[in-house]
Structure 1
Amino acid sequence: MELILAPEILKTYGYTKENVIVKQIGSGLINRTYLLSPLSEDKQYILQHINTTVFESPEAIANNLKAIADYLSKNYPSYNFIKPILTLNGEEMALVNGEYWRMLPFVKDTISLDVLSNPKQAYEAAKQFGKLTRLLNYFDASTLKQTIVGFHDLNLRYEQFVLALNQTTKQLKGLAKIEIDFAKDHKYVLDYYNSFKQGKDFPDRVMHHDTKISNVLLDESTYEGICVIDLDTIMPGKFISDLGDMMRTYLCPFSENETDLGKIKIRLDYFEATIKGYLSEMKTILTNTEKELILFSGKYIIYMQALRFLTDFLNGNIYYPANYFTQNLDRAKNQFKLLHELSLNEKELQDIIKENLA
């Protein structure tokens, strides 16, 4: 689909509607993304509109990316960090008619996948996310700003669940009784996390926080990992955020929208590939505590996402779009089943971790 953007947006980067072709691309639900093809250049660019409903402080994103880009440019100049292209006025983002935009270089001969089709892809993606964190091991994560406050804060998510439970209707509470009980019974995930949270051996790191497969560029021929993209959620966090999100999204062949819970299984070969890829970069810098929490990272993120879906259902589906009344409840059931499967396979999964830590 060919589109014409507001002339002011293009002008900010030195283009006009007459000298570029614009096409909307991508499957992301948060930011609108366009491919810009200047007629007089052998280059293409990505132009993104920043969703300020989700990212209330776009300046925080710009500041974080600039600080990281400067650090990597100085210390690891060969690393392909996709940093924004400055406007004609030297700004990290363009503010046009009250909306924020940014332009990024388009990386040729690469693809991003919406669905994993083999373990090698999981390995390459996990390796790329681990590599970025490893390269930033000595970067002071405390200098970065939170781009989404409380994004992976399980304490906050449990508090929101309890609040929703106290305010919801009897009807919704009745429909979700089994899931409510499951959530309460598994609060030990939160308690266990809190027992480590303040430990010196459990440091804050620079984390991506959204490690689904579509946020990695792969070579379109070899499927080797090239670099990480969609960097809006880079901010301080625990390593469990990235590795746990990979487990949540890589290990099961079906997404959280699958309602046949019998299909929700752990693919051991994908788990092994993910662990191998991540530890190939991170094994040398993980602390002893972090190594002990590798499998727990999956439990943490899966439980948190299940809570978020359940909370939204109890609140009347006000956050996650739902195509039918009980979809967020079904999503919670799906994630609780995935959490159960992780526990069922724990011995085999821990053996894989132990082998790759050796």
Structure 2
Amino acid sequence: MELNLDSEVLLAFGYTKETATITQIGSGLINRTYLLSPLSEDQKYILQNINTSVFKKPEDIANNLKAIADYLSKNYPDYLFIKPVSTIDGKEMAMIESEYWRMLPFVPNTVSLDVLSEPQQAYEAAKQFGKLSALLNNFDASLLEPTIPGFHDLGLRFEQFTAALTTTTKELKGKAKPQIDDALKHKYILDYYESYSHREDFPDRVMHHDTKISNVLLKAETFAGICVIDLDTIMPGKFISDLGDMMRTYLCAFSENEKDLSKIKIRLPYFEAMVKGYLSEMKNILTETEKELILFSGKYIIYMQALRFLTDFLNGDIYYPTAYPTQNLDRAKNQFKLLHELTVNEKELQDIIEEHLA
């Protein structure tokens, strides 16, 4: 369906409704995304409206991406980093009626997947996220601003959970009692992380922070990895953010919305493919402490997400959209089951890691 946008948005990038067509695309929940097709060019573009309720300072995104793009262009000019196209005024974004817009080149003959269907896809995706981290190994992460402050801060998420316990209703607290007990029982994950957090060989790196499969472009016919996309959350962080999020989203055939917990299982071939792909790029870059924490990264991110769903349920579902009243509680149950599966399979998973570190 062709959509009508404020003509000033198109004009900011040198187009009009007469010189380009625009259609809404994508399944993302954060930014509104459109495909802009100029009538006189072969090149197409992605036009996005930045969600300022999630990203409070869009200019930080623009500055981060420009700094990274400049570094990669200078040091790794052959790497495909999809940086924004400048406005006709030479800016990284356009602001039209208090809304921020940016335009990116569309990469033809590629796909992004919503669901993994074979281990090779996990390998290709993990390799691409690892490759970007490897190329940015010598980039000073402190030059970047956090685009979502505290995004993967487990200490903050635990504080928010305990605060919700004191303000929630007796009814919600009663419904969630087994999951509240689970959350408190697994606090050791936060304590374990904090025991490592100040080690010198546990550095801040440039992390993507949202490594779901849909944020990688693959070749349309072969599914070979091309590059990483959706770069708004690139900011300083620990390596566990990217690897842990891959474990959370790649290892089970079902998402956090699956209510049948018997289906929540670890797929060992996908785990091995993911580890192999990531370490093919990062094996010689990770420090000894980081190598120790490879499997722990999955526990960290899965526990954090379980806490976030549970906290939102206790707060009355004010953050995550829900289709029915207990969905956030069901999501928390799902993530605690995934955490359990990671733990009970720990020896076999660690053996796979050791094999690919050797």
Structure 1, residues 191-213: CA drift from partner, whole Å, max 9, x if none?
00000111101000000000000
Q: Distance in 2 between matches of 1:32 and 1:122?
A: 27
Match in the other structure for 2:175:
175
Q: Distance in 2 between matches of 1:232 and 1:124?
A: 21
Aligned ranges 1:34-53 → 2 under 5 Å: 34-53=34-53
Residue 74 of structure 2 is aligned to residue 77 of structure 1 = no
Structure 1, residues 222-259: CA drift from partner, whole Å, max 9, x if none?
10000000000000000000000000000000000000
- Give every structure 1 segment of 4 or more consecutive aligned residues whose post-TM-superposition deviation is greater than 3 Å: none
Q: Distance in 2 between matches of 1:196 and 1:282?
A: 20
What's the CA shift for 1:162? 0.1
Structure 1, residues 248-288: CA drift from partner, whole Å, max 9, x if none?
00000000000000000000000000000000000010000
Match in the other structure for 2:348:
348
Q: Secondary structure of the residue that 1:117 maps to in structure 2?
A: coil
Aligned ranges 1:4-83 → 2 under 5 Å: 4-83=4-83
Q: Distance in 2 between matches of 1:93 and 1:42?
A: 23
Match in the other structure for 1:296:
296
Match in the other structure for 1:119:
119
Structure 1, residues 158-201: CA drift from partner, whole Å, max 9, x if none?
00000000111110000000000000000000000000111101
Q: Which amino acid aligns with 2:130?
A: G
Q: Distance in 2 between matches of 1:320 and 1:198?
A: 32
Q: Which amino acid aligns with 2:77?
A: P
- TM-score (norm. length: structure 2): 1.00
- TM-score (norm. length: structure 1): 1.00
What's the CA shift for 1:338? 0.1
Q: Secondary structure of the residue that 1:221 maps to in structure 2?
A: coil
The number of equivalent residue pairs is 358
Match in the other structure for 1:92:
92
Q: Distance in 2 between matches of 1:116 and 1:184?
A: 32
What's the CA shift for 1:2? 1.0
Q: Distance in 2 between matches of 1:137 and 1:250?
A: 24
Structure 1, residues 269-326: CA drift from partner, whole Å, max 9, x if none?
0000000000000001000000000000000000000000000000000000111110
Q: Distance in 1 between matches of 2:97 and 2:167?
A: 39
What's the CA shift for 1:131? 0.2
Q: Distance in 1 between matches of 2:58 and 2:199?
A: 31
Q: Which amino acid aligns with 1:125?
A: A
Q: Secondary structure of the residue that 1:152 maps to in structure 2?
A: coil
Q: Distance in 2 between matches of 1:80 and 1:334?
A: 36
What's the CA shift for 1:133? 0.4
Q: Which amino acid aligns with 1:290?
A: E
Q: Give structure 2 stretches of 5+ with no counterpart.
A: none
Match in the other structure for 2:166:
166
Q: Distance in 1 between matches of 2:240 and 2:121?
A: 20
Aligned ranges 1:295-314 → 2 under 5 Å: 295-314=295-314
Q: C-alpha root-mean-square deviation of aligned residues, in Å? A: 0.4
Q: Distance in 1 between matches of 2:241 and 2:85?
A: 28
